C-alpha cells in the first residue's frame, strides 16, 4: 500500500479482535510514529504502550476517578468505565514532554506529537491493523497522566486503540472535500 492509498482509505475502526499484537508490529508502529517532523529535533512525543493487564489497571483507575466524582453511580456505570481500555488489545497513550530546549514552542511540540499519531494510524492501516484515536476526560486527568508515567502538567493527546479488525473489507470513507476549508491566494 502506498502513502496516498493509506491516506485515502484509512478510517477509524472500533471493532477489533482481542488477539494480542505481536511485539514486532508494535515496534513497527512506534518506529513509523517517530518519523514525524519535529522542530529542533525535540522528539517531544512520549508513548506508553498498554497491553494485557496494564489495560485492566488503567480501567480500575478510570472507574475510581469516576466514582470519586460521582459517588452515587450504579456499579454498572463503573464497570462500563473500567472496561474502556479493554476495547482493544493494544492501547498506546501519547503524551507531549516538557521542553528541554529553550527554543521549543509548546504548540509546535503538540503538533509534532499529533503528526506522530497520524503516522502511527497510517502505519497501522498499511499493516492490516484497525485503529481509533480517542481522548475523552481521561486524557485531561492528571491522575491518569501520573499513572502512565507522564508529566501531569503536560498534554496527553491520544489513546490510540489498535487491534486486528473484526470485520473484513469496509467501504472506503467518504469525507467532505477541502473546498470550503481552503483559500487559494494567487496573483490576481
Ligand atoms: C485529538 C482527537 C481526539 C479524538 N477523540 C475521540 C474520542 O475520544 N472518541 C471518539 O470516538 N473519537 C475521537 N476522535 C475522532 C476519531 O478518532 C475519528 O478520527 C473520527 O471519528 C473520524 O473518523 P475517521 O478517522 O474514520 O475519519 C478524536 C480525534 C482526534 C484527532
Integer angstrom CA distances of residue 160 from 82, 88, 93, 157, 184: 17, 9, 6, 10, 34
Is residue 105 in some structural domain?
yes
pTM: 0.96
Residue 96 sits in which domain range?
Answer: 3-181
Q: Would you say residue 51 lies in a domain? A: yes
Query: What pLDDT does 187 receive?
Result: 78
Q: What pLDDT is stored for residue 170 in this prediction?
A: 77
Tell me, yes or no, whether 188 lies in a domain.
Answer: no
Q: Which residues of the chain have pLDDT under 70?
A: 188
The pLDDT, as a whole number, for residue 167 is 83
pLDDT value of residue 161: 98
In this structure, is residue 187 part of a structural domain? no
Q: Which atom of ligand 1 is nearest to the CA of 139?
A: 8
3-state secondary structure of 49: strand
Protein residue with least CA distance to atom 27, ligand 1: 11
Number of structural domains found in the chain? 1
Of 105, 124, 142, which is closest to residue 32 (Cα–Cα)?
124
The pLDDT assigned to 172 comes to 84
64: domain CATH number is 3.40.109.10
Measured from the CB, is residue 14 less than 6 Å from ligand 1? Answer: no
Pocket test for ligand 1, best of 14, 134, 139, 175 (most atoms within 8 A of CB): 134
Amino acid at each position: 500500500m502506498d502513502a496516498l492509498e493509506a491516506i485515502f482509505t484509512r478510517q477509524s475502526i472500533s471493532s477489533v479482535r482481542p488477539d494480542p499484537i505481536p511485539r514486532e508490529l508494535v515496534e513497527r508502529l512506534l518506529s513509523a510514529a517517530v518519523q514525524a517532523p519535529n522542530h529542533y529535533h525535540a522528539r517531544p512525543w512520549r508513548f506508553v504502550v498498554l497491553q494485557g493487564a496494564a489495560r485492566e489497571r488503567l480501567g480500575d483507575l478510570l472507574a475510581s476517578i469516576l466514582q470519586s466524582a460521582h459517588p452515587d453511580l450504579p456499579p454498572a456505570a463503573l464497570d462500563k468505565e473500567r472496561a474502556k481500555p479493554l476495547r482493544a488489545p493494544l492501547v498506546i497513550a501519547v503524551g507531549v514532554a516538557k521542553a528541554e530546549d529553550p527554543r521549543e514552542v509548546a504548540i509546535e511540540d503538540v503538533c509534532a506529537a499529533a503528526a506522530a499519531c497520524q503516522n502511527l494510524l497510517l502505519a497501522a492501516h498499511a499493516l492490516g491493523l484497525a485503529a481509533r484515536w480517542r481522548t475523552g476526560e481521561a486524557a485531561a486527568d492528571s491522575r491518569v497522566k501520573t499513572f502512565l508515567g507522564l508529566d501531569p502538567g503536560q498534554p496527553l493527546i491520544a489513546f490510540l486503540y489498535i487491534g486486528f479488525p473484526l470485520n473484513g473489507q469496509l467501504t472506503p470513507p467518504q469525507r467532505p472535500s477541502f473546498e470550503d476549508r481552503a483559500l487559494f491566494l494567487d496573483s490576481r
